[in-house]
């Protein structure tokens, strides 16, 4: 495939200049993003069309299985992914969070091995969040980041050898960045987040003994992994960075990607640093894909745990697939955050401890936490199993044999919701939507971390329960009135009409919109800019 572009299309910035934004939106950086967009924008559009087709095929009853055409890739024992890159060998604790200035410093100093700087689930992609996030990453990479909180608390980076390795998660393929236009269209958000970070920080990361590292969200199949690999090859070539320097960990967080884990590793093998069990979006994907089927009727979110047989099949397959190919298997996010009440804090720590201990026992090489207060718990769980070893890639889990039917065996967990579960989903979706529209992509709600993935589950569960008439529309509308009123009482500044409208369009419509973020972005974060609803 040729990635050579003869004329560089101009990227236009459709936003007023923000403070220091010119340091990120330099002509050379925009030119780089423009070249990536020209080379890969059409393929990305085709893949989004293919996503819609696949969704329709599955809704029409087409079977989902490990692809027949790639059985040779799965049978071939000889291939492995690239060896672990500097800073990514020992990944026993990874902290995640949005790249705002305070969080950037706190996360890098947290004692975790890796920080995933998140432009996807934990970021509401306002233009300022996107560009300020890039500035914070660049300042952190150059080690000139500091921050003084309004109360006077000062933040600065710790010594280099104690800092977490930075891994950036760009937005998913479904999102546009409507404030940048190239060839008359909005620029794919993935290319903006990847391109700006790579352009400004790749060489500095290499000079510092690490590298340009990424997490790739919400992939649906091997072709999307191939697209990323081609982008990596082109980007490295354009900046004169040796091929294979980039590393990417793919989140397996859609059901269609779960049957192509091995192929995804294969496509990215020279740039792969493993797979992660993105458990929240995975649940969202299951409901979105099979919500029309009664055997996929899930109970309250709190009752669907990682010990459910279909979730165990997913994590067991992920560890087995990774280790067979020399790739790290990284565990998912436990939603509990510590809070300040001592009893609630102890309960949260105990729940997270159990979750991380199970992952370490199962063979994962590390896992995610959402809060610095959880770093020691996760580290202790993995220390217990790993000891001084950096990972447990040698545990190949040959005994694991997972079929597509196992991945889809939701029936064994299915059941009706409780009244409390219905109310909680409505309340969580509304409260999260309100935060997101005000520019905050992750919040703590009743001791649980809420982000775009957990809010997606909340709204699609309401849709699923309505669709199968296990709850009735009148009750939901009554609860919605109550919860909108409660939101207004708690947060008098909340945009109640916008929040309610978003909920009605994304949870109560007959046809289920694929992502609430596409709707909310186009209407509220970039109105009138023609963003595509993926």
Ligand X SMILES: CC(=O)SCCNC(=O)CCNC(=O)[C@H](O)C(C)(C)COP(=O)(O)OP(=O)(O)OC[C@H]1O[C@@H](n2cnc3c(N)ncnc32)[C@H](O)[C@@H]1OP(=O)(O)O
Catalytic residue set = 169, 451
Nearer to ligand O=CC(=O)O, 38 or 283 (CB): 283
Contact 48, 534 (CB under 8 A): yes
Q: How far apart are CA 284 and CA 148, in angstroms?
A: 38
With a CB cutoff of 8 Å and minimum separation 6, the contacts of 440 are: 124
Rule CB under 6 A: choose which of 332, 338, 417, 421 binds ligand O=CC(=O)O. 332
Question: Per CB under 6 A, does 453 bind ligand O=CC(=O)O?
Answer: yes
Identify the CA nearest to 302 among candidates 454, 507, 493, 472: 454
458 is a site residue for ligand O=CC(=O)O (CB under 6 A): no
Within 120-139, the residues that bind ligand X by CB under 6 A are 121-122
Number of residues that bind ligand X (CB under 6 A): 22
Cβ nearer to Mg ion, comparing 169 with 320: 169
C-beta of 148: minimal distance to ligand X in Å? 11
Positions in 353-392 near ligand X (CB under 6 A): 370-372
d(CA 375, CA 367): 10
In sequence order, the β-bridge partners of residue 216 are 250
- 516 contributes a contact to ligand X by CB under 6 A: no
Other residues' Cβ atoms within 10 Å of the Cβ of residue 15:
17
Binding window for ligand O=CC(=O)O (CB under 6 A); candidates: 44-52, 239-247, 266-274, 278-286: 278-286
Which tokens sit at 488? 């207004």
Using CB under 6 A as the binding rule, whether residue 319 contacts ligand X is answered as: no
User: What sign for the dihedral angle of Cα 121, 123, 125, 130?
Assistant: negative
List residues bridging with 509 in a β-sheet: none
| 410: Cα separation from own chain's centroid | 23
Measured from the CB atom, the residue of 118 and 193 that comes closer to ligand X is 118
Pull the structure tokens for residue 236. 């490295």
- Give me the least distance between CB of 251 and Mg ion, in Å please: 6
Which does residue 329 bind out of ligand X, ligand O=CC(=O)O, Mg ion, none, counting CB within 5 to 8 angstroms by kind? none
CA distance 361 to 367: 12
**Residue whose structure tokens are 């409390």:** 420
Interface residues with Mg ion (CB under 5 A)? Answer: 121, 253, 278, 281, 453
436: which 2 tokens?
A: 């997101």
Q: Tell which positions 165-224 bind ligand O=CC(=O)O, by CB under 6 A.
A: none
Which residue, 443, 287, 274, is CA-closest to 364? 274
Identify the residue among 271, 279, 301, 325 touching ligand O=CC(=O)O (CB under 6 A). 279
Question: Taking a C-beta distance cutoff of 8 angstroms, is the pair 115, 95 a contact?
Answer: yes
The bridge status of strand 176-182 relative to strand 185-188 is antiparallel
Give whichever of 238 and 330 is closer to ligand X, judged by the CB atom.
Answer: 330
The correct pick among 36, 38, 107, 250 for binding ligand X (CB under 6 A) is: 107
Query: If you search the block for the tokens 């672990």, which residue do you land on?
Result: 84
Please give the residues from 250 up to 309 whose contact with ligand X meets the rule CB under 6 A: 280
Q: How far is the CB of 1 from ligand X (least distance, A)?
A: 31
How far apart CA 244 and CA 270 sit, in angstroms, is 6
Stretch that binds ligand X, among 29-37, 40-48, 242-250, 444-452 (CB under 6 A): 444-452
Residues that bind ligand O=CC(=O)O (CB under 6 A): 121, 251, 253, 278-281, 332-333, 453
Residues that bind ligand X (CB under 6 A): 95-97, 102-103, 106-107, 118, 121-122, 280, 333, 337, 370-372, 442-444, 449, 451, 453
């Amino acid at each position: 495939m040729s990635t050579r572009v003869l004329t560089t299309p101009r990227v236009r910035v459709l936003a007023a200049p923000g403070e220091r934004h010119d340091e990120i939106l330099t002509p050379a950086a925009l030119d780089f993003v423009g070249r990536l967009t020209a080379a890969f924008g059409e393929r990305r559009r085709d893949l989004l069309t293919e996503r819609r087709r696949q969704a329709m095929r599955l809704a029409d009853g087409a079977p989902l299985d490990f692809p027949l055409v790639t059985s040779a890739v799965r049978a071939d024992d000889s291939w492995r992914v690239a060896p672990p890159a500097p800073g990514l060998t020992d990944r026993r604790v990874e902290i995640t969070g949005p790249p705002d200035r305070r969080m950037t410093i706190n996360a890098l100093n947290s004692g975790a091995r890796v920080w995933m700087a998140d432009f996807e689930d934990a970021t509401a992609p306002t233009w300022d969040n996107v560009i300020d996030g890039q500035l914070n990453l660049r300042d952190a990479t150059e080690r000139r980041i500091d921050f003084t909180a309004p109360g006077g608390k000062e933040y600065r980076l710790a010594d280099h050898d104690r800092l977490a390795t930075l891994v950036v998660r760009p937005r998913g393929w479904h999102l546009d960045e409507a404030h940048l236009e190239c060839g008359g269209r909005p620029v794919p958000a993935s290319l903006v987040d990847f391109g700006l970070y790579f352009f400004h920080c790749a060489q500095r990361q290499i000079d510092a003994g690490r590298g340009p590292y990424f997490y790739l969200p919400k992939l649906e199949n091997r072709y999307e992994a191939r697209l990323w690999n081609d982008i990596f090859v082109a980007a490295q070539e354009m900046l004169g960075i040796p091929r294979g320097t980039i590393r990417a960990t793919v989140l397996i967080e859609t059901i269609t990607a779960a049957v192509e884990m091995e192929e995804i590793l294969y496509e990215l093998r020279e740039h792969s640093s493993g797979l992660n069990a993105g458990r929240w979006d995975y649940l969202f994907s299951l409901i979105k894909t099979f919500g029309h089927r009664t055997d996929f009727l899930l109970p309250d979110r709190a009752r669907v745990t990682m010990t459910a047989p279909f979730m165990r099949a997913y994590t067991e397959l992920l560890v087995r697939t990774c280790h067979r190919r020399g790739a790290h298997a990284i565990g998912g996010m436990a939603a509990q955050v510590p809070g300040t009440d001592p009893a609630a804090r102890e309960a949260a720590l105990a729940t997270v401890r159990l979750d991380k201990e199970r992952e370490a026992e199962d063979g994962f090489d590390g896992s995610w936490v959402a809060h610095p207060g959880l770093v020691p718990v996760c580290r202790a769980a993995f220390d217990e199993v790993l000891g001084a070893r950096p990972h447990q890639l040698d545990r190949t889990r040959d005994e694991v044999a997972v079929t597509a039917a196992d991945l889809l065996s939701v029936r064994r967990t299915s059941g009706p919701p409780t009244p409390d579960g219905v109310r909680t989903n409505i309340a969580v979706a509304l409260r999260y939507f309100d935060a997101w529209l005000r520019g905050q992509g992750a919040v703590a709600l009743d001791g649980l971390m809420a982000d775009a993935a957990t809010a997606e589950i909340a709204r699609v569960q309401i849709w699923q329960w309505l669709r199968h008439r296990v709850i009735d529309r009148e009750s939901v509308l009554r609860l919605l009135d109550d919860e909108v009123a409660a939101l207004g009482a708690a947060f008098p500044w909340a945009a109640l009409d916008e929040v309610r409208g978003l909920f009605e369009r994304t949870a109560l419509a007959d046809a289920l919109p694929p992502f609430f973020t596409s709707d909310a972005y186009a209407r509220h974060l970039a109105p009138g800019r023609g963003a595509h609803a993926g």
